[in-house]
Amino acid sequence: MIYDIAILGAGASGLMAASFLKDRSVCIIDSNSYIGAKIKVSGGAKCNITNKYMNSSYYLGDQDLIQSTLKNFSQKELLNFLNQNSIYPKLDEKIVKGTFFCASSKDVNDMFKKLTYHCKYKLNTNILDIEYKDNLFKIITSKGSIIAKKVIVATGGLSYSSLGASDIGYKIAQKFGHTIKRCDPALVGFTVQKDQFWFKKLSGLSLDVAIKVDNKTIEGKMLFTHKGCSGPAILTSSLYWSRGSFSIDFSPYKNSYLPKRFRQAIKEISNFDIHNYTMSPAGTFGFSKAEVTKGGVATNEISKTFESKLQKNLYFIGEVLDITGQLGGYNFQWCFSSAVTCAKVI
């Protein structure tokens, strides 16, 4: 059989694209034994699906492409889409301002199962290679070959290797001549150097902070850990940090509360500036702990419909691209918006 479209990846972007391709023959290929593996674990299994405050400034990457894509399928349109499918996300700002959570991640995956009933699934299937000949793609997998007229690469990034994450999307892009921007863990905690070993003594303690990194100011909770630091403010800061130092204001508000443990710890540090503490992380907790991957397929080689400029009928959507959002539902929104933009054109 020759499929109209083969979608590589049964994550958020792949499933959303398939949902908008009901009148076409679609094959979805994924290495996992079930769909929506990352959706399942997101937001503490409640899926932090989008954010009330949505524009390109919350993303790292091609601002024009981000802006046009969010306009094509906004967070309001996503919420309407979910409501129409009996999912009613609620605003929950305990972790990140403006974040919408679903009642359960399972509800989202169940919705996609219903919306993709027309698709042929090839699960527990690894993609080994892809060829293009006579206007057709031949996808070589661990369970045989699949032929398709068009291919959508929705394979995600390198984060969450425990959920089957791999570099296959980047390898496919490179095979067709695409540039891959350096991939790094993002939305991830920092390990610390000797100067911050005092962080470890405060493991488990959380504070409201304001972090200045790469001309951005990130406000939110910082969590001290036995490895270094984490928490929402740190995770978002990791998106903009590449190397070198950034500064932390440990008392950003007039009514900031500084716990006794913290006050005692900083007494031992000479010339401690509570409003402008500078640190240079040793590194991050790595891809295994990262929520997303920063970097990916270069967007200047992709059209605004997400078709490759180097190979016709080949598309790249979602996290595989060099576009990454902050913590708080932004990356799911990007996956969904890029998927809908792509699928509507196809």
Please say whether the beta carbons of 338 and 17 come within 8 A: no
Q: How many CB atoms lie within 10 A of CB 161?
A: 12
Q: Does domain 2-183+294-345 match CATH 3.50.50.60?
A: yes
pTM of the model: 0.96
| CATH number of the structural domain 189-284 | 2.40.30.10
Report the candidate in 180, 242, 249, 178 with the shortest Cα–Cα distance to residue 219. Answer: 249
pLDDT value at residue 45: 93
pLDDT in tens, the chain (346 residues): 999 999 999 999 999 999 999 999 999 999 999 999 999 999 999 999 999 999 999 999 999 999 999 999 999 999 999 999 999 999 999 999 999 999 999 999 999 999 999 999 999 999 999 999 999 999 999 999 999 999 999 999 988 777 778 899 999 999 999 999 999 999 999 999 999 999 999 999 999 999 999 999 999 999 999 999 999 999 999 999 999 999 999 999 988 889 999 999 999 898 999 999 999 999 999 999 999 999 999 999 999 999 999 999 999 999 999 999 999 999 999 999 999 999 999 9
- What is the chain's length? 346
Residue carrying structure tokens 């350096």: 182
- Domain definitions of the chain by residue range: 2-183+294-345, 189-284
Please say whether the beta carbons of 271 and 302 come within 8 A: no
Query: Residue 257: left (phi > 0), alpha (psi -120 to 50), or beta?
Result: beta
Report the alpha-carbon distance of residue 183 to residue 186 in Å, rounded.
9
Q: What are the phi and psi torsion angles at 161 (to 5°)?
A: -60, -25
pLDDT value at residue 165: 81
- Compute and round to an integer the Cα radius of gyration of the chain: 21
pLDDT value at residue 49: 97
pLDDT value at residue 267: 92
Report the alpha-carbon distance of residue 75 to residue 58 in Å, rounded.
13
- With helix as H, strand as E and coil as C, how does the chain read? CEEEEEEECCCHHHHHHHHCCCCCCEEEECCCCCCCHHHHHHHHHCCEEEECCCCHHHEECCHHHHHHHHHHCCHHHHHHHHHHCCCCCEECCCCCCCEEECCCHHHHHHHHHHHCCCCEEECCCCEEEEEEECCEEEEEEECEEEEEEEEEECCCCCCCHHHCCCCHHHHHHHHCCCCEEEEEEECCCEECCHHHCHHHHCCCCEEEEEEEECCEEEEEEEEECCCEEECHHHHHHHHHCCCCCEEEECCCCCCCCCCHHHHHHHHCCCCCCCCCEEECCCEECCCCCCCEEEEEECHHHECCCCEECCCCCEEECHHHECCEECCCCHHHHHHHHHHHHHHHHC
Sign of the torsion angle spanned by Cα atoms 209, 212, 217, 222: negative
Report the candidate in 22, 36, 32, 30 with the shortest Cα–Cα distance to residue 122. Answer: 30
Say how many CA atoms lie within 13 Å of 328 toward its Cβ.
28
